[in-house]
Amino acid sequence: MSFTDLIIKKFKDKNAIVGIVGMGYVGLPVMLRYIDVGIRCIGLDVDSKKVELLNQGKSYIAHIPESKISKAKECGFMATSDPSKMADCDAIILCVPTPLNKYREPDISYITDSTEKLLPFLKEGQVLSLESTTYPGTTEEELKVRIEKQGFRIGENFFLVYSPEREDPANPKFTTKTIPKIVGGSTENCKNVGIALYEQIIDEVVPVSSTKTAEMTKLLENIHRAVNIGLVNEMKIVADKMDIDIHEVIRAASTKPFGFTPYYPGPGLGGHCIPIDPFYLTWKAREFGISTRFIELAGEVNTNMPHWVISKLTNSLNNMGKSIKGSKILILGIAYKKNVDDMRESPSVELMNILEEKGAEIAYSDPYVPSFPNIRKHSFNLNSIELTPQSVSKFDCILLATNHDIFDYDLIKNNAKLIVDTRGVYSKPSKNIVKA
């Protein structure tokens, strides 16, 4: 029996061991799905605190209950920071970050560094699947080259796959199980092994012709969102000048049963995908002498949104006879999207940076983020404050940045001197509410 047939049979018989590299918002849900179907997992992460918590049966992600981590432990799951443990695995799935560097260029060092650490422990018959978002060609140019230097024959005695993550944290409509999974292989055998790897845990696996196609698919998905959000953000500014509520316009347009998909404006882009992924393609396109003007224009619009919000806030305070300097401003919600604890690329951080630079006294309230984390952009020595009539009323302005369902919006409205609403929460006009 060939290596291809052997590993496919292992997955189908659920006798395989799957290693997940990166126990974050992507890797942890993937691990839990394999546990659900009876496949043993090993989690590898460089963060010793995460490893310790997982081995104690504890969760560090708000929407993942500890009961699921405890169940995984009972089913044989273990977390480790030792890459040699991946030698016990039949499949290794890379779920590591792919940020931008200070020059706004792709930083794939997490991918390459992780691969380098794994190389001594790879074995015949394994499959390595990359899920991190990256530019087309990464799997072939970076991973395949390194693996082949170890003496493996890709598609014969080792299998290489690219299968982009598709997670929407805290969205009950879509789960790891129900979101269709794109799979591209370095060879036909690799693709077939990748299908067998993922069809155990995903309802629908969508094979494509190559790893490059799978990589480009992920970028198209996120660039599609970035461009349309850029469009609606620009429309918001135009509508504001015309004294039109863009959220009312979107609600009305959404009644059209064809040809329109609603996208919603905000104070800027957040999350691990939309603010970053378009730059992976614009960077790679330059290698081919192509200028991606449409994508870059959307990026400019979205990047400028925090400054536009601050200008609205400034004007609103001026109308009250106040300046930003010395004003007490509460940021409402600092996670990048509603009902999650994820702070990655949150526009709230940029808003806080700008306000601090302008001399405002800032605070924040976000039950999902009790203490401000130590992140790359900036770290504020702040803790989330509880919203009460007394605490709300002491601020000169409430800047509504993330619209968590948990907030008592009536309490805020009834006690705030000024609310700058960037999410369209308040649909009815009010003297103390300004749309931004």
Domain match, 178 and 145 both: yes
Backbone angles phi, psi at 15, to 5 degrees: -100, 5
Query: What strands, in cross-sheet order, belong to the sheet with 397-400?
Result: 361-365, 328-332, 397-400, 419-421, 433-435
Domain match, 278 and 404 both: yes
Q: What is the mean pLDDT of the chain?
A: 94
Domain match, 273 and 185 both: no
Active site residue 273: yes
Domain contains 220: no
Domain contains 356: yes
Whether 378 has a pLDDT exceeding 80, the answer reads no
Domain contains 219: no
Domain match, 11 and 84 both: yes
Q: Which residue has the tokens 């449409």?
A: 294
Mean pLDDT of 287-301: 91
In the chain, how many domains are there? Answer: 2
Domain match, 198 and 252 both: no
Domain match, 203 and 255 both: no
Q: Which of 89, 95, 190, 273 is catalytic?
A: 273
In total, the chain counts a number of residues equal to 436
Q: Are 181 and 217 in contact (CB under 8 A)?
A: no
Domain contains 316: yes
Of the residues 209, 243, 259, which one is the last residue of a structural domain?
209
What are the tokens at 246? 């863009």
pTM above 0.85, yes or no: yes
Give the domain CATH number at 337.
3.40.50.720
DSSP state of 41: E
Beta strand 40-44 pairing with 78-80:
parallel
Domain match, 174 and 237 both: no
What are the tokens at 185? 């292989």
d(CA 283, CA 295): 11
Write the pLDDT tens digit of every residue in 191-235: 999 999 999 999 999 999 999 999 999 999 999 999 999 999 999
Of residues 10, 21, 404, the one with CA closest to residue 31: 21
Domain match, 155 and 247 both: no
Write the pLDDT tens digit of every residue in 167-199: 887 788 899 999 999 999 999 999 999 999 999
Domain contains 214: no
Range of the domain at 355: 233-435
- Looking at the chain, the whole-number percentage of residues with pLDDT higher than 70 is 100
Of the residues 209, 243, 260, which one is the last residue of a structural domain?
209
d(CA 63, CA 40): 22
Whether 377 has a pLDDT exceeding 70, the answer reads no
Write the pLDDT tens digit of every residue in 239-252: 999 999 999 999 99
Domain contains 177: yes
Domain match, 170 and 275 both: no
Domain match, 38 and 152 both: yes
Of residues 267, 335, 354, 332, the one with CA closest to residue 303: 267
Of the residues 153, 176, 209, which one is the last residue of a structural domain?
209
Mean pLDDT of 341-345: 89
Domain match, 67 and 23 both: yes
Beta strand 159-162 pairing with 181-185:
antiparallel
pLDDT band for 273, please (50, 70, 90 cuts).
confident
Write the pLDDT tens digit of every residue in 37-74: 999 999 999 999 999 999 999 999 988 999 999 999 99
Domain match, 170 and 308 both: no
Write the pLDDT tens digit of every residue in 379-417: 799 999 999 999 999 999 999 999 999 999 999 999 999
